[in-house]
């Protein structure tokens, strides 16, 4: 993945004083090139496309709106983010700019911190989108190869069942499955289990280190079931992983993932997600809960606490929604158990629901167990409770223990 420091920013302005200011603000962090009119800007973009363009509106000859429209009309350059720089801040001008294809505005006179922040944000999103596109290409190629092999090796009558088995393997292969996953990190113990209600489902979990001290943990539930939910799930996981490489706060990660999956979401699919980032040195857990079940904080001394103080809407419904973040401190031996509603909403033959209250009672009995035994214990409790009733929803349980 390309680094921010290797990104190129093209500054387009007919005033040398403005160019001098912007170059002085940005040239220590990025490669900066300049153009002083619209035609020169288009020539520079066609010759060597930059990663981002700062574009003045009021220029002689071709104005900024026309330059933006020309750049956005070409497939090779249409994805380049363009930020207008202007002293005109009336709403009509802003609307026209966004209609032309701009992603943001910076007004004159420039504030150095604002320029740096907006440029960094849009470059980070651009790099994340490129990484997501690359990951999707890899995933599509893997699916294509497996599907082609399937078509050649089995009879038409068995094709659908075999495809579902392969889809299950691909889906499960996306998520980490080796436990313990980080033998060189004695500060944490992690264990997870996922059992789809069908061959493939919409539940998912993930965990990975953002840096040597910060562990990102994710559990989510896609609306719906089957192949459509599984495909949507793979896209969400890929986006979370890609965006977390450049943005390291849970609320900001979900803000950007929400914008990406809401755009063009004609199926109105939504996703409940709990995303936390645990500092394994200090025990601080920063988290955002987007419509998901409240996790359990499990203490051997204090019992079980339901972490239900901060739940926001699910992602995928409103691209303008801005999520918030909260933090708690985990103590030595504390666990955080994150699960999906397939646990609490499992039914038995008498149409009784397993429920959140029953889950807390069972976890209280199991809290002295290891991370893996607690997860397996809860899963078997749900199975025993359901009896002969078929599993109606995907079941996912992820448990993390803090061992400083």
24 CB-near residues (< 8 Å, 6+ apart): none
DSSP β-ladder status, 303-306 and 284-290: unpaired
Which has the minimum average pLDDT: 58-67, 132-141, 335-344? 132-141
**What pLDDT is stored for residue 305 in this prediction?**
92
**What pLDDT is stored for residue 396 in this prediction?**
95
> What are the pLDDT digits (tens) for 10-66?
999 998 989 899 999 999 999 999 999 999 999 999 999 999 999 998 888 899 999
CB distance 372 to 379 below 8 Å? no
Whether the per-residue pLDDT at 161 is higher than 60: the answer is no
Cα torsion 315, 267, 98, 127: sign: positive
CATH 3.60.40.10 for the 178-402 domain, yes or no: yes
**What pLDDT is stored for residue 105 in this prediction?**
87
Which has the minimum average pLDDT: 19-28, 162-171, 194-203, 328-337? 162-171
Nearest to 272 by CA among 344, 181, 214, 378: 344
Token reading at 158:
């068995």
Average pLDDT, the chain: 88
**Residue 194 — very low, low, confident or very high, per pLDDT cuts 50/70/90?**
very high
Rg for the chain, CA atoms, rounded: 25
Rounded CA gap, 322 and 279, in Å?
A: 24
Whether the per-residue pLDDT at 184 is higher than 60: the answer is yes
Burial degree of 301 (CB within 10 A; 0-12, 13-18, 19+): exposed
Whether the per-residue pLDDT at 196 is higher than 90: the answer is no
Encode the chain in three state secondary structure: CCCHHHCEEEEECCCHHHHHHHHHHHCCCCEEEEECCHHHHHHHHHHCCCCEEEEECCCCCCCHHHHHHHHHHCCCCCCCCEEEEECCCCHHHHHHHHHHCCCEEEECCCCHHHHHHHHHHHHHHHHHHHHHHHHHHHHHHHHHHHHHHHHHHCCHHHHHHHHHHHHHHHHHHHCCCCCCCCCCCCCEEEEEEEECCCCCCCEEEEEEEEECCEEEEEEEEECCCHHHHHHHHHHHHHHHHHHHCCCCCHHHHHHHHHHHHHCCCCCCCCEEEEEEEEECCCCEEEEEEECCCCCEEEECCCEEEECCCCCECCECCCCCCCCCCEEEECCCCCEEEEECHHHHCCECCCCCECCHHHHHHHHHHHCCCCHHHHHHHHHHHHHHHHCCCCCCCCEEEEEEEECC
**Residue 163 — very low, low, confident or very high, per pLDDT cuts 50/70/90?**
low
> What are the pLDDT digits (tens) for 286-320?
999 999 999 999 998 889 999 987 678 999 888 88
**Residue 185 — very low, low, confident or very high, per pLDDT cuts 50/70/90?**
very high
**Residue 88 — very low, low, confident or very high, per pLDDT cuts 50/70/90?**
low
> What are the pLDDT digits (tens) for 206-238?
999 999 999 999 999 988 776 777 778 888 998
CB distance 300 to 333 below 8 Å? yes
What homologous superfamily does CATH list for 4-127? Response regulator (3.40.50.2300)
Read off the pLDDT of each residue in 114-125 and give the average, rounded to a whole number. Answer: 90
**What pLDDT is stored for residue 380 in this prediction?**
96
Whether the per-residue pLDDT at 91 is higher than 80: the answer is no
Residue-range domain boundaries for the chain? 4-127, 178-402
């Amino acid at each position: 993945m390309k680094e921010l420091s290797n990104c190129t920013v093209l500054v387009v302005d007919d005033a040398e004083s403005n160019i001098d200011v912007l170059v002085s603000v940005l040239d220590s962090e990025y490669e900066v090139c300049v153009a002083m009119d619209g035609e020169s800007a288009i020539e520079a973009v066609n010759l060597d496309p930059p990663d981002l363009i700062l574009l003045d509106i009021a220029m002689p000859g071709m104005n900024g709106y026309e330059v933006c429209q020309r750049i956005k009309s070409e497939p090779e350059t249409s994805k380049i983010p363009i930020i207008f720089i202007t002293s005109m801040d009336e709403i009509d001008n802003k609307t026209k700019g966004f209609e032309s294809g701009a992603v943001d505005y910076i007004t004159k006179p420039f504030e150095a911190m604002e320029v740096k922040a907006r440029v960094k944000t849009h470059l980070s999103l651009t790099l994340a989108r490129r990484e997501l596109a690359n990951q999707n290409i890899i995933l599509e190629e893997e699916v294509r190869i497996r599907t082609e092999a399937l078509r050649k090796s089995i009879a038409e009558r068995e094709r659908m069942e075999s495809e579902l088995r392969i889809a299950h393997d691909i889906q499960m292969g996306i998520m980490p499955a080796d436990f313990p996953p980080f033998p060189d990190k004695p500060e944490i113990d992690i264990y997870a289990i996922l059992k789809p209600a069908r061959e493939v489902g919409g539940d998912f979990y993930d965990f990975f280190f953002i840096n040597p001290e910060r562990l990102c943990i994710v559990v989510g539930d896609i609306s719906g079931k089957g192949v459509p939910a599984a495909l949507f799930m793979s896209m969400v996981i890929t986006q979370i992983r890609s965006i977390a490489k450049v943005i390291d706060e849970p609320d900001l990660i979900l803000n950007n993932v929400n914008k990406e999956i809401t755009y063009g979401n004609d199926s109105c699919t939504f996703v409940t997600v709990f995303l936390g980032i645990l500092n394994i040195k200090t025990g601080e857990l920063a988290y955002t809960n987007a419509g998901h079940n409240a996790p359990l904080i499990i203490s051997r001394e204090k019992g079980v606490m339901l972490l239900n103080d901060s739940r926001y809407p699910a992602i995928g419904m409103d691209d303008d929604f801005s999520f918030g973040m909260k933090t708690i401190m985990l103590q030595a031996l504390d666990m955080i158990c994150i699960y999906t509603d397939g646990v609490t909403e499992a039914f038995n033959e008498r149409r009784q629901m397993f429920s959140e209250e029953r889950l807390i009672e069972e976890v209280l009995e199991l809290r002295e167990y290891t991370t893996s035994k607690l997860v397996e214990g809860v899963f078997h409790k749900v199975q025993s409770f359901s009896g002969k009733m078929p599993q109606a929803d995907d079941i996912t349980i992820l448990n993390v223990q803090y061992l400083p």
